[in-house]
Chains A and B, each alone.
Chain A
Amino acid sequence: MLEAVNLSKTYRFAERKSFFKTNHRDICAVEDISLKIEEGKIIGLLGVNGAGKTTTIKMLSTLIEPTSGQITFNGIDCVKNPFELKKRINMIAGGERNLYWRLSAVENLEYFGALYHIPKAVLKERIKDLIEMTDLKEYEKAPVETYSKGMKQRLQFARGLINDPSLLFLDEPTLGLDVPIVAQMHHYIEKIVKEQNKGILITTHYMAEAEKLCDYIYILNKGKVNIEGTPSEIINLSDINSTVTITTNKEVLQKKWVHIETESYRKLGVKPEVDEQKQAISIHIKKEQIATFLQVLIAYDLVIHGVEIGDPKLEDAILQMSGDVRCEK
Chain B
Amino acid sequence: MREVIQIIKAEIVKSHQINFGDKRNYFIVLLWPILLFFTAYYSYKPLSFSEAGWSIFESKEVIIKFLIIGYLAYNCFFSLVRNALFMRNEREEGVLEIIFLSPAKRFALMYGRALGTVIQNVWMFGVFTAFILVYIGGFEKSTLLFFPLVFLLICISAGIWGGLLNTLFLFSRDTLVIFYLLDEPMLLFSGVKMPTAIFPFWAKVISFIFPITYVLYIARGTLMSTETLYELRGAFVALVLLLCIIIFTTSQLLRLAEAHYRKSGNINFY
Contacts and interface: CB of A to CB of B under 8 A. Distances in A.
B262 A90 contact: no
Contacts of A64: 262-263, 265
A179 B259 CA distance: 40
Contacts of A100: 14, 18, 95
Interface in A114-162: 114-117, 143, 159
Contact of B103 (A65, A110, A111, A116): A116
Interface stretch (A55-63, A207-215, A222-230): A55-63
A12 B21 CA distance: 41
A86 interface: yes
Interface stretch (A35-43, A91-99, A305-313): A91-99
A107 interface: yes
A110 B265 contact: no
Interface residues of B, number: 29
B102 interface: yes
Given A63-B267, A111-B10, A111-B13, A97 B18 contact: no
A293 to B, nearest CB: 51
Contact of B3 (A90, A98, A117): A117
A143 B21 contact: yes
Contacts of B264: 11-12
B262 A97 contact: no
Contacts of A99: 93, 95
Most chain B CB within 10 A, of A93, A97, A115, A143, is at A115
A266 B202 CA distance: 100
Contacts, number: 85
A34 B18 CA distance: 42
B148 interface: no
A115 B7 contact: yes
Contact of B98 (A55, A87, A98): A98
B101 interface: yes
A86 B14 contact: no
A25 interface: no
Interface residues of A, number: 36
A169 to B, nearest CB: 9
Contacts of A58: 265
Contacts of B267: 63
Nearest to B22: A102
Nearest to B262: A65
Contacts of B135: none
Contacts of B99: 115
Given A102-B17, A107-B17, A114 B103 contact: no
Most chain A CB within 10 A, of B10, B17, B270, is at B17
A112 interface: yes
B102 A98 contact: no
A103 B18 contact: yes
Contacts of A86: 101-103
Contacts of A61: 101
A83 interface: yes
Most chain B CB within 10 A, of A62, A82, A87, A114, is at A114
Contact of B102 (A55, A93, A110, A112): A112
Given A97-B270, A115-B103, 10 more contacts: A12-B264, A64-B262, A83-B103, A86-B102, A90-B101, A91-B98, A97-B93, A103-B18, A110-B10, A117-B7
Interface of A: 9, 11-12, 55, 58, 61-65, 82-83, 86-87, 89-91, 93, 97-103, 107, 110-112, 114-117, 143, 159, 163
7 contacts: A11-B265, A64-B265, A97-B95, A98-B95, A102-B21, A117-B103, A143-B21
